Structure 1
Amino acid sequence: MEYVLLVTWSLVLALLTAIGAPLSTAVFARLPRRGAAFSLPVALAVLATVVFLLGQVTFGLHTIVLGILVLWGLSALAYSAGYVPEWKTVASAYGVFLGGFLLFAFYVAHTAAITPQGGEQFLHYGLTNALVDAGSLPPEDFWFAGEPLRYYYGTQLQVATLSMLTGTELRYGYYLGLATFYAVLFVSAYGLVGAVVEERGRPFHLGGLFGAVFVALAGTSVTFLRQLFGRLPAETARQYGEPVFRGLIEERGMSLSEALASQGGTGDWLWFYERYAIEGGLHEFPFYSFIKADLHGHTLSTGYIVLAAAVAFSYYLTPSEERYRRLGLLYGGLGLVAGVFGFMNTWALPTAVGLAWLAVAAADAHPATLLPSAVADSLVLPERGLWNRLSAEAWRVVLAAALAVPVGIVGVAIASPFLVFGQVPTNEGIGFLPPRTPLDTFLVLYGGILALFAGYLGSRSRQRSGVSAVHLGAGVALVVGVLVGFLASFAVASLLVAFLLVAWWLVRTERAGFTAVLLVAGLGLLLALEVVHARVYPFDRVRWNTTLKVAVQGWTLAGLAAGGASALLVSGGVERLRAVRQAVDADDISTEAAVSRGVPAALAVALVVALVATSLPFAALAIHKNADILTPSDGSLDGLAVHDQFKEAEMEGLYWLDDRGQPTIAESPTRRTYSWSSSASVFTGAATVVGWDHQEGYRGEAAFDRRATAIDALYTGPMANATAILDRYGVEYIYVGPTERENYENINDFDELPGVDEAFSNGAVTIYEVNATALP
């Protein structure tokens, strides 16, 4: 275990936390504990934005230092304006961050290996490698030489930034960066849910604990149900288990018996299969995404999703008279986070706009009060009478949506070097009404968390006695609407709409607070998956990428709501049980009254315990199967160590090539994704003429095939054509390794070509250097 690296990295992050604390205090001044938990996330978001923008001109360690100076200047302004952090609370929050950081670091120390199997670690390591040595942004595409990158690269940029700032080799920085952003998610969830719960008069730490558990550790109900069915009698499991294992049957080609045998027990259980629950979709949650160990934007941006929700909460708590502060939070705070999403995880940019919409609509301050008073007064509708109240509420939601749109515009403007002036991947826009999720499968995924939300909303709706005719009529209409949706094959959408309407009613009647706003945000994203989808590669799999990139955001926000609901239910339930016991001891109530008061409270606590128990099996099994964190001294954060051991000769050639800087190289194109291929570009950051077939999704099949065919011809075609190919793409080195020898039966003897000389050879790898001026 590289303890010196852990200490160095932790100290640098502690420094960034201290620098960012005054700025975080300014943003979250109205939150309990003044947003101490967001000191590091705020610092990282600002640093990433400044480095991204300055990097368009020049990128290097000097750019990062300038970014830190800008961050320090903003915090100094906040400090001078009176936003002095509670340093003890900041230190405590950093301790929570450090706990999450070390937890994940010790975990990955037993699994660290940058491999291509089943994921995109090769893509992300190669991209980060290319960024480290890039003179400006965007870097040259290391899998499509001569062209700028066509992929959102903010995640890899931040990992490269932290590696360069700490002087850490990327082979270690890859996993340290992964652990950093896991801990950012951990501490952000802790801080936000703790603040939401304390604002409702309940213990901060209880809310923080539940928030961290549900967001950073818990998962869908899939693992629990599969383990349950694996322990039922075989005939019963086969009769009723099809919805539970449907994803494995339809996506992995297993029979029900094979799925039961594999994922229904702990022996052959594989964590990788747990995201396959529905046909044509990938439903991940944060802990799954992190242990998959890709530097995916949808994974590492989850902490910023929580940060965006925290800014929305800060807006929600800000009174109407502080108009300029609300404008700053909306367009400055959420606008900045939207900008980070723009170049880090573009799929999350609409989520920032959605959170702005919900915050503006839910806050006590009317949306119109964001506008000058001369305009605002004319936009506030009267609320006397049922019809006027409904009209006013509908108008409030519409106006909030309009005022949230500029958040997206600010985000696009910040990320414009990529989104507007850069090159985004090939896509065909937005599609509507994709294949719908079967209700039974949806409940396999989210039944547990929906049960918690039903209990929480039910408890909030009972806070006021009496049922009016309006409430009764609304309830009947809701039930009828859900039944019609079920009959029209929109079962999941109808169920989610019912939850959203009830939650929003409780928000606007001041009974559910911001927990219900988070619930609406999380379930709203899951509802969106039933309504719209992005028409992106692979085009034949309609919802594949959309579910992968959006479901994890839905779980993150729903997990925040689950944490808040759990803390409120448990603390309220325990308080009521204690009061009942005291009343019984004092003979103040009868046994029947004690039971009627105590049973609901006990059921609320039992519901939370049950959900925690059914949400944690994935984390428990994954840690048990993948790592023994009790012996951290045996682990390592070196992502290349396993290759040094088992591919020693090839790695020797790759290290030699890595010392040549960032030349343009030729290596075999990859038509078998998720295999050991394109290793020369991945491990050196050098730009290859064409790499993995991911480029089909970024640039189109024709562009990939054109280059792939040319490289095939270079290795095996007539030598007379080789000069033209080398010249066309500016190739400086030709790489011949095990992959090339496997893919091509008879490789050209390149040193017979004038201008091409053998520069390195060790039996496993031969590398030829090309002198362009000496080519025939």
Structure 2
Amino acid sequence: METSNNLGYDTSHNKTKMSPQYIALVSVFLVLFILAYVLLKEDFKDFITWWLALLALGIGFLPLTGFMFSKFHDNGYLFSKPLGIAVSGYLVWFLSSIRIIKFSSVTCILVVILCFGINIFLFLKSKEELRKNLLSETKIKTMLKEEVLFLLFFLIWTYIRGFKPEAYGTEKFMDYGFMNVMMRSDYMPPKDLWFSGSTINYYYVGQYMATFLTKLTFLKANIGYNLMLMTLAAFGFVLPYSLVYNVIKNHFTEQGNGNKKEKKYFYLFSAFGGVLSGIGVSLASNMHFPLYYWFLPILRTLLGVDIDKGYWFPDSTRYIGYNPDTADKTIHEFPSYSFILGDLHAHVINIMFILTVVGILYAFMLHRKSKLNNLQREARIYPSVKEELLCPHILVIGFFIGLFHTTNFWDFPIYYVVAGAIILFSNLIFYQFSKKAIWITALQGIYIMAIAKITALPFSLNFDQISTEIMLTVSRTPFYQLIILWGLPVVLVAGLFIELMQSNTKQKVLSKISSQEPIEETKMCKMGFWKNFMYGLNTSELFILTLGLCAVGLVLIPEIIYVKDIYSGDYKRANTMFKLTYQAFILFGVSIGFIFIKFFKTRNFRWQKKFGIITFLLFLCSTWYCVVSVKAWYGNIFDTAGYKGLDAAAFLEEKMPDDYMAVNWLNDNVMGTPVVLESNGDSYSDHERISMATGLPTVLGWYVHEWLWRGDTTVLEERAGDIQTIYTAEDNLLVNSLIDKYKIEYIYIGKLEQDKYVTLNHDLLKGLGEIVFESPSTPEKNYESYLVKIDPK
């Protein structure tokens, strides 16, 4: 039984005193279950099934997580969930990619059980101290509290999503279609549902992870789509919360400041800072929202100017190039917008994994700090090169960096650099800024890259690299727009940097060295200003400052260079800014909680108080974005009658009833992935609704998307022409030859087909085989809807 924690205040409890706390926690769980039953109605069973699967993954991977996050107050419990998803999901993906197992619910369960067995083995083989730490009453109570927090946010977001569950609009057709085609796939990579005869040539493994959880829970994709999306929203809050709680707690521990009375409140500061970072990552917006939602309307009212057109929540993500209108249109989204909008896109799914990597990097820093302190007692025997390379943190970081190559490629170089910066700074301090720090870091960097490449190899072998070229930026963001979008977090990072510069004088550093660190004062004096500065930082300060500076760099890069892709003209740097600043927003969000708590609790200079109050009020203004956006997109969520459920495909019944019936027939009667022809169309249109909702591949899908994935419009134009020929030609032999060319087994004719091909040849199409589905005709309909199964030759 633990009697005290790292902060030095009493935490001893006997069983009698602990019982009420456990009872309270169980009561909270029961209240949340009852609330879920009332709010989610018929979706309650699916919700609980999904949550139980995540709970099992978290508990099952706790030994591995507890070993890596042993310095965390909660053993990194919340990180065990995404770690479990990543490891077990990847193992199923890898084995199905090399065709050892089929991708099915049974194999998913068997692989998860295997992973649990490995974790149990690690637990039994670990040191007794680690086992006791993992199962201590204090840690169990902490993990239960965090599980309550996760369940609460998961429930709230799921309930909100039930007011607008449809996979309709923006990128949802693609994301949901990816899931459906993988639900039908035995092996990876899955077939391209919008380019029959080929596999998906895009970063699909993120949607695969959603499909993995869907199969693991025996649910359907129409439910799994929304549950996965809301899982990510919950992770977006609880993972930064857990990480920053530990960052602040360890900051206070290393500082050693505060009297005994103050120390017992340190956990409250840690929790509050964690909440601020959770809000900063998952709920807040940039400063465009408070400026255009509050400040400018107030100013217009005072000036008597009536030109307010109202606020639409996507405006904060489409500002540069749109207001005012210019030839440099960009995208600068952030997580709360993604969670509300509802696209299960690659950059959204990867949020849980990148936050896990950031958490592992801090755990690595604590691990290095512990080793550095032990050097004083162990005759300064440094780890061998082998130990440095086989460090579990390094291995797992390499795995995740490789996973990013398959889920969201932009995160691959971004977090390789972020990880490299943190590892480098840790090594510089560990090896006292010697040359060894540089070459050890270089070896670890090479090792991480090698692990990453091996991890991504099954994906890379089946992937044709999308051609890109780095170009110098010509059109740059006006300075005032940069300030509006990223001024607040940049100023906060700058404030932290200035405070640390002022605080860490050489005298303070020398005092710290003489009392704590294994380094000679004479050597320290020769280090120089920047080395002295870095050495004077504690682990938490160095970690947060590094994240903040990396985020600033990500904001500045699109102002210097951009990656050329198929988007040109006014949109040439849109994708670069989108992917880089999205990660900058997350890193800023993680940093915010620590910076505010540091300024509120430890004010070393007069300017900190005013600076902290002003920036904190501005930050609070940005958090209201989520409330306004939810109301705009989902309506009145307090009226439970508006809850529609979690079926992502139910919208078809109202918007496209004939297509809905055809989709149901195909899902009920067709196994495997035969080709079903439907009309092709532009991206973001209603075309490809059949392939999207069934996962059955068609000859050609959304044009711009396939252009991006294939990099060639010639073959797209050829396919588009062949599709038109099949629907409109008079020559039966020609049509049959094209059917054979694309191995088409079904042809669907609905309203969109007849709207697009005005000379559609019904007689020829009906004569190609058996009409297996036909929607009822009504006086209001001026079109036919039917499905032809092609006669086998």
Does the CA-based 8 Å contact 2:394-2:444 persist in structure 1?
no
Confirm whether residue 718 of structure 1 aligns to residue 730 of structure 2.
Answer: yes
Confirm whether residue 165 of structure 1 aligns to residue 216 of structure 2.
Answer: yes
The one-letter amino acid paired with 1:510 is L
1:347 counterpart residue number: 410
Shift of 1:24: 0.6
2:28 counterpart residue number: none
For residues 414-563 of structure 1, what are the structure 2 equivalents within 5 Å? 414-419=455-460, 421-424=461-464, 426-433=466-473, 435-464=475-504, 507-510=534-537, 512-540=541-569, 541-563=571-593
1:247 counterpart residue number: none
1:708-747 C-alpha deviation (Å, 9 max, x unpaired): 1110111112333211111100100111111111111121
Does the CA-based 8 Å contact 2:244-2:274 persist in structure 1?
yes
1:309 counterpart residue number: 358
Residues 536/101 of structure 1: CA separation in 2 closer, same or farther (3 Å cut): same
CA distance in 1, matches of 2:357, 2:182: 27
The one-letter amino acid paired with 1:686 is L
1:415-452 C-alpha deviation (Å, 9 max, x unpaired): 11112x01245323433446332221111101122232
Confirm whether residue 629 of structure 1 aligns to residue 695 of structure 2.
Answer: no
CA distance in 1, matches of 2:433, 2:167: 59
2:780 counterpart residue number: none
CA distance in 2, matches of 1:47, 1:632: 37
SS in 1 for 2:744: coil
Does the CA-based 8 Å contact 2:493-2:549 persist in structure 1?
no
For residues 371-450 of structure 1, what are the structure 2 equivalents within 5 Å? 400=441, 403-419=444-460, 421-424=461-464, 426-433=466-473, 435-450=475-490
Bigger Cα displacement from structure 2, 322-331 vs 682-691 = 322-331
SS in 2 for 1:233: helix
Does the CA-based 8 Å contact 1:750-1:768 persist in structure 2?
no
Match of 1:566 among 596, 600, 603: 596
CA distance in 2, matches of 1:73, 1:270: 50
1:336-385 C-alpha deviation (Å, 9 max, x unpaired): 11122121111111123112211222215657x6xxxxxxxxxx876xxx
The one-letter amino acid paired with 2:564 is R
The one-letter amino acid paired with 1:715 is Y
Does the CA-based 8 Å contact 2:730-2:764 persist in structure 1?
no
2:93 counterpart residue number: 52
Confirm whether residue 615 of structure 1 aligns to residue 629 of structure 2.
Answer: no
For residues 88-107 of structure 1, what are the structure 2 equivalents within 5 Å? 88-107=141-160
Match of 1:211 among 268, 277, 290: 277
Match of 1:665 among 666, 672, 676: 676
Residues 344/664 of structure 1: CA separation in 2 closer, same or farther (3 Å cut): same
What is the aligned residue count? 667
1:267-319 C-alpha deviation (Å, 9 max, x unpaired): xx322232112133200111112222111111121121111111111121222
Does the CA-based 8 Å contact 2:428-2:437 persist in structure 1?
no
The one-letter amino acid paired with 2:637 is I
CA distance in 2, matches of 1:686, 1:464: 62
Bigger Cα displacement from structure 2, 434-443 vs 737-746 = 434-443
Shift of 1:236: 6.9
Point out where structure 2 has 5 or more consecutive residues left out of the alignment. Answer: 1-39, 253-265, 322-328, 373-381, 509-528, 778-783
CA distance in 2, matches of 1:559, 1:171: 31
CA distance in 1, matches of 2:466, 2:142: 46
Residues 532/30 of structure 1: CA separation in 2 closer, same or farther (3 Å cut): farther
Shift of 1:62: 3.0
The one-letter amino acid paired with 2:491 is A
SS in 1 for 2:773: strand
CA distance in 1, matches of 2:316, 2:639: 27
Residues 74/756 of structure 1: CA separation in 2 closer, same or farther (3 Å cut): same
Match of 2:656 among 647, 662, 668: 647
Shift of 1:412: 2.2
Residues 112/221 of structure 1: CA separation in 2 closer, same or farther (3 Å cut): same
The one-letter amino acid paired with 1:724 is S
Residues 505/551 of structure 1: CA separation in 2 closer, same or farther (3 Å cut): farther
The one-letter amino acid paired with 1:304 is F
Does the CA-based 8 Å contact 1:109-1:632 persist in structure 2?
no
Shift of 1:753: 6.8
Structure 1 length normalisation: TM-score? Answer: 0.81
The one-letter amino acid paired with 1:284 is E
2:335 counterpart residue number: 286
Does the CA-based 8 Å contact 2:158-2:226 persist in structure 1?
yes
Does the CA-based 8 Å contact 1:27-1:333 persist in structure 2?
no
The one-letter amino acid paired with 2:536 is T
SS in 2 for 1:735: strand
2:123 counterpart residue number: 79
CA distance in 2, matches of 1:647, 1:185: 34
Shift of 1:622: 0.6
SS in 2 for 1:167: coil
CA distance in 2, matches of 1:60, 1:97: 28
SS in 1 for 2:789: strand
CA distance in 2, matches of 1:276, 1:696: 24
Shift of 1:504: 9.5
CA distance in 1, matches of 2:232, 2:144: 18
Shift of 1:752: 6.2
Match of 1:232 among 286, 291, 299: 299
CA distance in 2, matches of 1:505, 1:521: 21
Does the CA-based 8 Å contact 2:504-2:533 persist in structure 1?
no
SS in 1 for 2:187: coil
CA distance in 2, matches of 1:718, 1:364: 73
Bigger Cα displacement from structure 2, 403-412 vs 17-26 = 403-412
2:753 counterpart residue number: 740
The one-letter amino acid paired with 1:229 is L
CA distance in 2, matches of 1:658, 1:556: 39
CA distance in 1, matches of 2:658, 2:698: 21
SS in 1 for 2:108: helix
Residues 12/285 of structure 1: CA separation in 2 closer, same or farther (3 Å cut): same
2:694 counterpart residue number: 684
Residues 4/295 of structure 1: CA separation in 2 closer, same or farther (3 Å cut): same
Shift of 1:637: 1.3
Residues 171/151 of structure 1: CA separation in 2 closer, same or farther (3 Å cut): same
What percent identity do the matched residue pairs reach? 23
Does the CA-based 8 Å contact 2:504-2:537 persist in structure 1?
no
Point out where structure 1 has 5 or more consecutive residues left out of the alignment. Answer: 239-256, 370-379, 383-391, 469-501, 577-596
Does the CA-based 8 Å contact 1:41-1:307 persist in structure 2?
yes
SS in 2 for 1:758: strand
Confirm whether residue 261 of structure 1 aligns to residue 261 of structure 2.
Answer: no
Residues 604/503 of structure 1: CA separation in 2 closer, same or farther (3 Å cut): farther
Does the CA-based 8 Å contact 2:207-2:349 persist in structure 1?
no
2:788 counterpart residue number: 768
CA distance in 1, matches of 2:534, 2:94: 39
Shift of 1:133: 1.2
Residues 160/445 of structure 1: CA separation in 2 closer, same or farther (3 Å cut): same
The one-letter amino acid paired with 1:534 is V
Does the CA-based 8 Å contact 2:61-2:116 persist in structure 1?
yes
CA distance in 1, matches of 2:353, 2:232: 9
Confirm whether residue 277 of structure 1 aligns to residue 319 of structure 2.
Answer: yes
Does the CA-based 8 Å contact 1:114-1:639 persist in structure 2?
yes
